[in-house]
Structure 1
């Protein structure tokens, strides 16, 4: 998910706590915990400062730092930092940090970019593709709760945020159920498949690979694009020169469910078809072809 959504997750989990008997310093510690833990897994961006980090960007970003096995470590580190700053040892600080880290890596796993959810024990990229990278429905639910809180000042704030979270979880569950149903249907027909969610709720793009063709079509539970877009992939091309001159290309192939191999415009390259926009692919690694 995007940074704004992760921040909203932190603010609203903090808001969902009953702090009626909590002192001012502990409230500050809890707010700090919620905001830091909601962003902590994305601190892997520091890996990009080295040349190796830039080459391995696709594998390292959302990699080990987004592992479910590392989540308790993040929570302990944040708990320790809070103790250093505020000398607070409230168990709620640890649990709030743990919940927010798990929310972060869990929601990131639900979009097409995926995470190294089981690293270091498995390098498989978990990218379920049932949520968009930026979900305006989630924003709308939280905005509605905020407006309601301002209007209904006599109601318990933490209860309003808890109800908002129940609605968010219901939205994610419904979105996931629809996406998985559509994906399962595609898997019964094609060799390899992957899924991406549209910004429009309940709308998905299915990508399916058969030999040297990749089919792309939009689908909902009630409708399906009749004529898929067909992308030809030059699977017979020798990619050894590409990998030798541009090591990011091999990383992209490892990271992606499948890629398109192209020799267009005098370039030998590969790109992930899930991230193709009107002006071309977002994730494209290539070299110039020599005569």
Structure 2
């Protein structure tokens, strides 16, 4: 998910009452909720190298053990440093090291839990396994989750500042509503994939001779009741529309997939950037075109075939003709 969502998730956890457990609870929760994204420095590498590095080692089990400990140590040091300089706020609660460490773990673990929900992918087991996991439940930026998180934090803070009792209640309502929303979206995705798989199997688009059918119900912005149905077998691929409000029909022409093929595989061997792209890609397809004395290989991913996103997720390389 985006970092605003992660930050607001940390803030909601604090407003649910956790911020009263120890000093520095709220900053610890918010920073912890974002800390696995330290791998964002990989974008400095240029090209598509960052795709192969993001959501990997800093989101895996070793990081989940070490990152909260590092954050906890920094926060303890910061509290002591402020105390020595006489700048520790008088209203700050005493530091409870046990609770502070627990909150560092809670905030950090919330990050991969949210990242898993979308179709971008996450490698939960890195470095022990580089397998990608996909929740296909929530779009990577979900305005409905934003709205629920902002409302929960704002109303909770407002009640707290006015001295009302049970100021944690709005945050708890927000948390509960978001959990229900995620669960409902999971059911929508499961139903969309089941219906699409059944109808694709029965259609002329796929063949019993090509049983390896992959169907992905890709979440879309804003319209949580809709999904892009992305599908492929070993030869063909296509995209359909699904909505809870209408019946699902297969009504788009089939494209002919140009991947995997020998030229695309050869391009990956020659180009490190292409290898990184293919490592990240879940549903790759290629266009192979002659270009002078070379062959141009253009690789894309079905998940990001929308014209607004495809330029950011396109890998191109030239393969010399032999």
TM-score scaled to structure 2, two decimals? 0.79
Unmatched 5+ stretches in structure 1: none
The residue aligned with 2:187 is 177
Shift of 1:125: 0.5
Shift of 1:64: 1.1
Which range moves more in the overlay, 279-288 or 2-11?
279-288
Unmatched 5+ stretches in structure 2: 81-94, 202-211
Which range moves more in the overlay, 189-198 or 266-275?
189-198
The residue aligned with 1:82 is 75
CA distance, structure 2, for counterparts of residue 84 and residue 47 of structure 1: 28
Computed over aligned residues only, the root mean square deviation of the Cα atoms, in angstroms, reads 2.6
Alignment of 1:119-268 (within 5 A): 119-146=126-153, 148-149=155-156, 153=162, 154-187=164-197, 189=201, 191-199=213-221, 200-223=223-246, 224-228=248-252, 230-235=254-259, 236-264=261-289, 266=291, 267-268=296-297
**Residue 70 of structure 1 aligns to a residue in which SS?**
helix
Q: Structure 1 residue 38 and structure 2 residue 62: aligned?
A: no
Which range moves more in the overlay, 7-16 or 177-186?
177-186
CA distance, structure 1, for counterparts of residue 197 and residue 318 of structure 2: 36
Shift of 1:70: 2.6
CA distance, structure 1, for counterparts of residue 182 and residue 320 of structure 2: 49
The residue aligned with 2:8 is 8
**Residue 168 of structure 2 aligns to a residue in which SS?**
helix
| Paired positions, count | 284
CA distance, structure 2, for counterparts of residue 82 and residue 104 of structure 1: 19
Which range moves more in the overlay, 265-274 or 223-232?
223-232
- Alpha carbons of 1:233 and 1:280: their partners in 2 closer, same or farther (altered >3 Å)? farther
CA distance, structure 2, for counterparts of residue 156 and residue 175 of structure 1: 30
CA distance, structure 1, for counterparts of residue 69 and residue 18 of structure 2: 22
- Higher gyration radius (CA): 2
